[in-house]
Amino acid sequence: MNVVKLSLIALAVAAASSQLAVAGEQQESKGFIADSTLNLLNRNFWMQRDYRNSTRNTRDEWAHGIQAHYVSGFTQGTVGFGVDAHSYGGIKLDGGRGSVGNGILPVDGEGRIEDNTGELGGAVKLRVSSTVLKFGEQRPTAPVFATGDSRLLPETATGFQLSSSEFDALSLEAGHFTAINRRNSSNSDGELTSEYAEVEARSVDFVGGTYNFTDNLSVALYGSEAEDVWRQYFANVYYTIPLADDQSLNFDLVAYKTDDQGDALAGELDTLTYSLKAAYSFGAHKLSLAYQKVNGDEFFDYIGGDSIWLANSVQYSDFNAPNERSVQVRYDLNMATFGVPGLSFMARYIKGDDINGTKADPNGAFAGWAGDDEKHWERDLEAKYVVQSGAAKDLSLRVRQATHRSTAFDSDLDEVRLIVEYPLSIL
């Protein structure tokens, strides 16, 4: 599959369909300035990891970051032009002391956390009807390539992205990316390295879309290629069954098929990884059960911090080891029903076993990563409060705690994160 050619075909189709559209978003444009937005996000992030089976047993890191996002409108006319721009900055408040940190701020050549970081970036864009083409630094959200936002500052990626919503029920997108800016880096020319094997792809291409059959049923299909590393295919079925005014049953099926491609820099890859999650919501409560399975002798790998939609990818572990099966039970509580809007709690437990990495390609990147009959578990707890009104409206405070225990293939650790966010809308 040549994803670049498919992307060009998708662009042609979208352009053709836009000529048939009676009224698209571009025809409703109010102009470059009138439709502009400028948002500011303050994020204070403290994180501690206590490695229970390591001589370097504790890593503390505390920092404050500010994110500014400017999104212009589009000029009026058949073809609209605009720009998106961002400015990110972070400053160390505490932490380091010679350790490599927790991925919050950049680390210098001597392994010390830097005192501050900053970056500027942006993208140019054009729109025809309801089809948008962007080039520059972006935050793609496709299930096969999505930048992450799990630390102080978000990741960005450099390249082209096309998105089209010409039809109400169908959304399409395609992308070609050549660089990534990691969560603890200010380098916009960073290499597209995979999260686990840490092999570099010169580019990542993808094409796919989502079709909403009804308000309660949607299907997504994607294909992607990390050059000389893998080809990856994705499918998702999301279905909700309303049971009563305050009750519903939801099913979420996700599957990834990964095969080595080109020079196969990560070695031989042939995995089918899937998860099925069922959730029952009743009043203030939500109970979820999930099952996940890796069919293959290598880890399920990905590029970009959020490029994994599997149900058991949680706070610390992805439960994505060779041949691994894992189960999850989760409980969510929304305190608005009890008169405390904005306050919520979450608890989950995940257990993975049957891990066998002894059959991985002996010349590949995953050789020797896991033995036979490995297992692990993780418990996550979270409390979050969002201020509902007043001068501090939308200020959020979140506490996240994780405990992970494993056999020899992974780390035993306790982790705590304290996150305070305050968003401001300036335009």
Concerning whether 176 is annotated as a catalytic residue, the answer is yes
Q: What does the alpha-carbon distance between residue 192 and residue 225 come to, in Å, rounded to a whole number?
A: 12
Tokens of 413: 């650790």
**Which of 86, 176, 376, 404 does the annotation list as catalytic?**
176
Q: What does the alpha-carbon distance between residue 143 and residue 266 come to, in Å, rounded to a whole number?
A: 21
Concerning whether 307 is annotated as a catalytic residue, the answer is yes
Sign of CA dihedral 237, 238, 243, 247: positive
**Which of 307, 317, 326, 406 does the annotation list as catalytic?**
307
**Which of 50, 149, 228, 414 does the annotation list as catalytic?**
228
| Cβ contacts of 249 within 8 Å, gap of 6 or more | 240, 241, 243, 278, 279, 280, 281
Q: What does the alpha-carbon distance between residue 142 and residue 135 come to, in Å, rounded to a whole number?
A: 16
The CA R_g of the chain, rounded to the nearest whole Å, is 22
Q: Is 335 helix (H, G, I), strand (E, B) or coil?
A: helix
What letter represents residue 391's amino acid?
A: A
DSSP summary character for residue 17: H
Q: Is 219 exposed, middle or buried (0-12, 13-18, 19+ CB in 10 A)?
A: middle
Nearest to 165 by CA among 265, 24, 264: 24
Residues 300, 325: contact at Cβ < 8 Å? no
Residues assigned a catalytic role: 176, 228, 307
